[in-house]
Amino acid sequence: MAPRSSPLKGQIEPERQCSLDIHGQTVCYGLYRSRRRTIGLSVDHRGLRVGAPLGAALRDIESLLREHGQWVLDKLAHWQAQRAAATLVDGSRFPWLGQPLQLLLPDGLTRSRWGAAELQLAVPAGKAIEPVLRRVLQQRARSLFLARLEIHAARLGVPTPPLFLSSARTRWGSCNSKGEIRLSWRLGHVSLALIDYVVIHELAHLKEMNHGPRFWAIVERLYPDWRWARAELQRQASGLPPL
């Protein structure tokens, strides 16, 4: 059965909290059983909820969640973004380059200003905070990514490739057959060491458009601790802010 967004009804057992790994992210959900014939998924103000028939096996429930894993992650990301938009205030903190960054909203500021551990955000009157903040972070991320691409492309002995930004939450980067690299601007939330791993990973595809032994040999030559970095990115992914 395809996921749906309508409320789940007919609950006759207490809801219990469960969790499941989906695409490297730990997803928490509320599970309840009722006199229904199929398993249904929904996302409401409480997060992800799963309604299941009384006799449905947990393995079947988890199989459905994995089958619709991207739908689940996208819906939860949207839900988290809505929650974040409602709570962004003067003094809010979120990670940038792996360190806490404080958001300040001074009155009358006409241009955003970056400090060592703070961002003074210029929000025009009548504008929502979130889209303004996202644009400033994207600009900052693009400048940083270009600099890291230049450094590591030189180490690899290739020209700096064209860079495009994405807003992906589960795919950090990609490299296509044209030699164009796309990086999620949300990488700016993690440390420079992890950003460098993703940059080097995508640059290595300019030499090997696969994930075979020769590809990983290139990555390891430029980034010996790539196994740690890959695992750390997976660990941190679910805890990054849903901006």
Q: Per-residue pLDDT averaged across 46-63, rounded?
A: 90
CA 108, 110, 112: angle at the middle one, nearest 5?
Answer: 110
CB-count exposure of residue 87 (10 Å: 0-12, 13-18, 19+): exposed
| Least confident residue range of 61-70, 142-151, 196-205 | 61-70
Q: In the 8-state DSSP scheme, what is residue 185?
A: G
The number of CA neighbours under 13 Å toward the Cβ of 56 is 22
**Taking 60 as the threshold, does the pLDDT of residue 12 lie above it?**
no
Q: How many other CB atoms are found less than 10 A from the CB of residue 46?
A: 11
CA 38, 65, 94: angle at the middle one, nearest 5?
Answer: 135
Please list the helix, strand and coil fractions of the chain in percent, rounded to the nearest 5, in that order: 40, 25, 35
Q: How many other CB atoms are found less than 10 A from the CB of residue 208?
A: 15
Phi-psi region of 106 (alpha: psi -120 to 50; beta: other; left: phi over 0): beta
Positive or negative, the CA dihedral 226, 164, 26, 136 is positive
Tell the residue number behind the tokens 């309508």, with chain if given.
Answer: 6
223 vs 32: which has the higher pLDDT: 223
Q: Per-residue pLDDT averaged across 128-146, rounded?
A: 95
Residue 25 to residue 202: CA distance in whole angstroms: 21
**Taking 70 as the threshold, does the pLDDT of residue 217 lie above it?**
yes
Confidence category of residue 62, pLDDT binned at 50, 70, 90: very high
Do residues 185 and 137 lie in contact, with contact meaning Cβ atoms separated by under 8 Å?
A: yes
215 vs 74: which has the higher pLDDT: 215
Confidence category of residue 5, pLDDT binned at 50, 70, 90: very low
For position 2, what pLDDT does the model report?
39
For position 240, what pLDDT does the model report?
76
**Taking 90 as the threshold, does the pLDDT of residue 84 lie above it?**
no
Residue 87 to residue 85: CA distance in whole angstroms: 6
Tell the residue number behind the tokens 């909203």, with chain if given.
Answer: 105
Do residues 125 and 132 lie in contact, with contact meaning Cβ atoms separated by under 8 Å?
A: no
